[in-house]
Amino acid sequence: MFFFILRRMLVAIPILLASSFLMFFLVTISGDPLADLRQSQNPNVDQLIAARRQRLNLDQGFFERYIDWLSGIIRGDFGQNREGQDVSALLGDAMTTTFRLVILATLLSIVIGIVVGIVTAVRQYSIIDYSSTFAAFLFFSLPVFWVAVLLKEFGAIKFNDFLEAPGLSPAGIAILSIIPAILAFGLTPGARRRRLFAGAVTGLVFLVGLVIIDATDWMLNPGLSPLVVTLVSLAVGVGAAALFAPLENRRVVAAGVVTALVGVVGSLAFSSWIEDPTWTQLLLLFVLSLVTGAVVGSVIGGVIDRRAAVSTGMWATIGVGLVVVFDQFISAWEPDRTIATIGPQTPNLTGPFWVRMIDYAGHQILPSLALALIGFATFMRFTRASMLETLKSDYVRTAKAKGLPATQVIMRHAFRTALIPVMTVITISVATIIEGAVITERVFAWQGMGSLFIDGLNDVDPYPVMGFLLVTSIVLIFMNAVADILYAYIDPRIRR
């Protein structure tokens, strides 16, 4: 395995060299860096031209400039832009901004895309299958910046207006209850009657919940009471158990429920930490809750069900943690136009941890969503196709025939194999997501790699453009290598 990784890394070097050479060529021919000065009326224009020639190394031939730039890169020096600023410094700032966007969008689209892909494959030809396939086709056909502008208008401006005087019309409540009812109808397995029942119950729950929310002006002063936190946590515990064992298995369900209760008690015990934590405290709490979940699971699970119970416990604590964090988030919510349209964060904001976090989130959510749509469509389609293939295979039928629980067959047997082609697509799509980020950043006025690239291109400023291209190509090559290594991990036949 080690040599496999090593070889994979060594192959990347000549590719990187070739691509950087090609990019340098493209950037060099893209225009004349002195164009603006040649037309300048400035009295000392000759000096300016000479200075820029010297700074950008324009007196040398193409190959010398490339070698110069390359040796600079090896020393960690990315050259200077036209104004003489260090590209390395500019690139560092831009990278943190852009990668925040790209990473969140990629993760969002992977998680949602794969989950929806699995669900649509398992429930082939259901309402959910047809509607999400249509949605995927629609997302494929949307220009990214058109979506971004629409999100800015409706997701931010109109939504903020709505939050200043929230109130749901009866029609709105009806629509918001019918959609989950249809979802539940499509997701529930079994006979038509059972599915209708599930749909009706879900719709009713949402209807009552929304009426209460509307009547109590909850949206003006959001937050979850301890009772609601407990109830939702219990549901999360049972749900986690359902992932790993059939619900008839009492021990595993008990593990989920007890972990959820312990989690709620723990969150009350550590409430002073949770209300204004530091990152270290948050990490400590996360580790602590994972350990608690595992311990509770292994105590309750006994010998036979230990594995399922431990997994259940750990996932249940993660779920409870998310509920608690969500509670903190919405409690910190102030109805002062939190969903932002400009920049990656409010400048010079100080305040408690969760206030800063919700500010980040409010700035981050829309650009990430705009970006995630494309990736979501791709990942969903590929996961679905690949899952359908494996679900039809002989070993899945064997696993079902042995009487293994359906979740285990889907997650362990089918999904693991189905993941291999999906991973290829994920690594290829990162390029598309970075391209999309260039545009999304522009719409939402983030000063990231996108503006570095575009401004550099418009000013014919070669080194910032090269810096951007180099970083993206390193990311892409790295992603490819990661994909290869993951294949080798999942599928031992590839480890040659």
Contacting positions for another protein (CB under 8 A): 15-16, 18-19, 22-23, 26-27, 29-31, 125, 133, 137-138, 140-146, 149, 153, 385, 428, 431-432, 434-435, 438-439, 442-443, 453-454, 457-458, 460, 465, 468-469, 472-473, 476-477
Q: Give min distance, CB of 367 to another protein, in A.
A: 15
> Taking each helix axis from N to C terminus, what angle separates 170-187 and 192-215, rounded to the nearest 10 degrees?
150
Of 384, 409, 414, 432, residue with least CA distance to 114 = 384
Q: Give min distance, CB of 103 to another protein, in A.
A: 16
* Long-range contacts formed by 358-363: CB under 8 A, 24+ apart: 358/329, 358/332, 358/333, 361/329, 362/338
Q: Give min distance, CB of 385 to another protein, in A.
A: 7
Specify the residue, 251 or 381, whose C-beta has the smaller distance to another protein: 381
Specify the residue, 23 or 178, whose C-beta has the smaller distance to another protein: 23
Continuous H helices in 392-446: 394-401, 406-408, 416-443
Three-state secondary structure string covering 80-126: ECCCCCEHHHHHHHHHHHHHHHHHHHHHHHHHHHHHHHHHHHHCCCC
Q: Give min distance, CB of 22 to another protein, in A.
A: 6
**In contact, 462 and 23? CB cutoff 8 Å:** no
Specify the residue, 245 or 434, whose C-beta has the smaller distance to another protein: 434
Q: Give min distance, CB of 113 to another protein, in A.
A: 17
Specify the residue, 308 or 452, whose C-beta has the smaller distance to another protein: 452
Q: Give min distance, CB of 151 to another protein, in A.
A: 12
Specify the residue, 301 or 456, whose C-beta has the smaller distance to another protein: 456
Specify the residue, 145 or 329, whose C-beta has the smaller distance to another protein: 145
- N residues, the chain: 496
- The answer for 343, left when phi > 0, alpha when psi is -120 to 50, beta otherwise, is left
| Cα Rg of the chain, angstroms | 27
Q: Which two tokens stand for residue 339?
A: 């969903």
How far is 462 from 241, CA to CA, in rounded Å?
Answer: 56
Q: Give min distance, CB of 469 to another protein, in A.
A: 6
> Taking each helix axis from N to C terminus, what angle separates 87-122 and 416-443, rounded to the nearest 10 degrees?
130
DSSP code of residue 80: B
Q: Give min distance, CB of 436 to another protein, in A.
A: 8
Q: Give min distance, CB of 60 to another protein, in A.
A: 21
Specify the residue, 141 or 272, whose C-beta has the smaller distance to another protein: 141
Q: Which two tokens stand for residue 292?
A: 């608690």
Specify the residue, 77 or 435, whose C-beta has the smaller distance to another protein: 435
Contacts of 22 (CB under 8 A, 6+ apart): none
How far is 394 from 175, CA to CA, in rounded Å?
Answer: 42
Q: Give min distance, CB of 267 to another protein, in A.
A: 43
How far is 49 from 221, CA to CA, in rounded Å?
Answer: 61
Specify the residue, 112 or 457, whose C-beta has the smaller distance to another protein: 457
Backbone angles phi, psi at 30, to 5 degrees: -70, -15
The neighbour count for residue 130, using CB atoms within 10 Å, is 13
The burial of 32, by beta-carbon neighbours within 10 Å (0-12 exposed, 13-18 middle, 19 or more buried), is given as: exposed
Specify the residue, 332 or 434, whose C-beta has the smaller distance to another protein: 434
Of 290, 292, 286, 293, residue with least CA distance to 325 = 286
